[in-house]
């Protein structure tokens, strides 16, 4: 499974000059946790996340800090995305194996990563939620898609799927076995492939 097969295309983006208030509105409206920050040509210059935006946005409640002997301080809050964004975002390419992208996200504790081309133009966004959505696909749907793949290459193999693990019955020989495994593994949501030996 490749990143381009799982990512969200046409991600919501912002510019460094976008106000933090507008960025918060977009996160809320689209139910996302982070956005690529791009230049007008679509090249990535950073990422802004929920944490970046809320860090200095919530004012303290004066009732909890009442001191009439002092003038209340007016904290300075960042006004634009460029002031709070991460200038060194973790990114992935569209051809990367999703397993490697998941390892990257879990080891860095980021919830989503921009998908960029060689010129650093944003192509999409891959989130943990995207991966969960694919892994939760119904076994029946996976079975149909794998059956369709096998028929498209002229093979009449029997397919069963249980909890994302595919069992294929029918391939004879090493080449047929390798083809069965490779094709089934390309279907998003497949977590394993077993090819049974005919008797």
Question: Tokens 């490749």, residue?
Answer: 2
Tell me the CA distances in angstroms from 159 to 26, 63, 135, 139, 149, one per residue in order: 43, 65, 18, 11, 11
Which is more confident, 199 or 40? 40
CATH 3.90.1150.10 fits 3-57+79-135, yes or no: no
- Tokens, residue 119: 């010129």
What's the whole-model pTM score?
Answer: 0.73
Q: How far apart are CA 76 and CA 85, in angstroms?
A: 17
User: Residue 130 is inside which H or E element, if any?
Assistant: helix 128-135
Q: What local confidence, expressed as pLDDT, does residue 47 receive?
A: 96
Domain limits, CATH 3.30.1340.30, in the chain: 139-196
Domain 139-196 belongs to what architecture?
2-Layer Sandwich (3.30)
Q: Read off the pLDDT of each residue in 129-152 and give the average, rounded to a whole number.
A: 92
The predicted-structure confidence for 52-78, as pLDDT tens digits, reads as follows 998 866 555 556 656 656 665 555 566
| CA-CA-CA-CA dihedral for 146, 151, 153, 159, to nearest 10 | 40
Q: How far apart are CA 180 and CA 169, in angstroms?
A: 9
CB distance 81 to 21 below 8 Å: no
Give strand pairing partners of 112: 127
Domain limits, CATH 3.10.580.10, in the chain: 3-57+79-135
């Amino acid at each position: 499974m490749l990143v381009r097969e799982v990512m969200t295309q046409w991600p919501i983006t912002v510019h460094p000059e976008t106000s933090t208030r507008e960025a918060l509105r977009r996160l809320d409206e689209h139910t996302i946790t982070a956005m690529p920050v791009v230049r007008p040509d679509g090249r990535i210059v950073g990422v802004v996340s929920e944490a970046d935006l809320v860090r200095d946005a919530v004012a303290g409640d004066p009732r909890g800090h009442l001191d009439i002997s002092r003038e209340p301080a007016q904290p300075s809050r960042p006004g634009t995305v460029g002031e709070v964004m991460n200038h060194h975002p973790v990114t992935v390419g569209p051809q990367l194996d999703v397993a490697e992208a998941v390892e990257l996200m879990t080891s860095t504790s980021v919830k989503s990563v921009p998908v960029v081309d060689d010129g650093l133009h944003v192509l999409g966004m891959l989130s943990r939620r995207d991966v969960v959505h694919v892994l939760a696909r119904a076994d029946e749907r996976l079975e149909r898609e794998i059956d369709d793949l096998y028929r498209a290459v002229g093979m009449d193999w029997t397919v069963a799927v249980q909890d994302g693990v595919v069992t294929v019955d029918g391939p004879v020989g090493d080449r047929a076995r390798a083809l069965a495994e490779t094709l089934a593994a390309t279907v998003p949501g497949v977590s394993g492939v077993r090819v049974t030996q005919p008797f």
